[in-house]
Amino acid sequence: MLRLTAADHAAFTAREGAAPIVHGSPVANPRTVASAIRIGNPASWEGATSARDESGGLIASVTDTEILAAQIRLASSEGLFAEPASAAPLALLTRLVQDGKIDREATTVVVLTGSGLKDPDAALKNVEPPVELDGDARTLAKVLKL
């Protein structure tokens, strides 16, 4: 189990339509593109709030739009295909930096626990369909503008 030191701050993320801990009560029909965090009454509620309190951290929610933007950012800038639930912490970090709550130069860690292959549906809805080509190098070079 990861233990945080007094200098560390834990941040936990949920989607706004599925954030029972953020709102302080269970959510009957949680809604989010991030299926792994679509939980209306988490079994780990006490553990999450204890980790937040012990670390001086926070539990906050982000929108599906922020989650998907973070998923795209991970793929385009880092070459990582993360499931939406794993992109949610990056979405929160991005917002906290934009809001000035975390210094842009601060050292931070975002743990990605799930491959995008665990939950590819959201990504597939937000990309162009694949291009089908004849099997020759000239056609491929043309499409790639080489």
In a domain, 116, yes or no: yes
- Radius of gyration from C-alpha coordinates of the chain: 18
Containing structural domain, residue 44? 11-143
In a domain, 32, yes or no: yes
End-to-end CA distance of the chain: 49
The string of pLDDT tens digits covering residues 104-144 is: 888 888 888 899 999 888 888 877 777 788 778 888 888 88
In a domain, 64, yes or no: yes
Give pTM, 2 decimals.
Answer: 0.77
CATH code for the domain in which residue 35 is found: 3.40.50.1100
Number of domains in the chain: 1
The string of pLDDT tens digits covering residues 33-86 is: 888 888 889 898 899 899 888 888 888 889 999 999 999 999 999 999 999 999
The string of pLDDT tens digits covering residues 1-20 is: 344 444 455 566 666 777 88
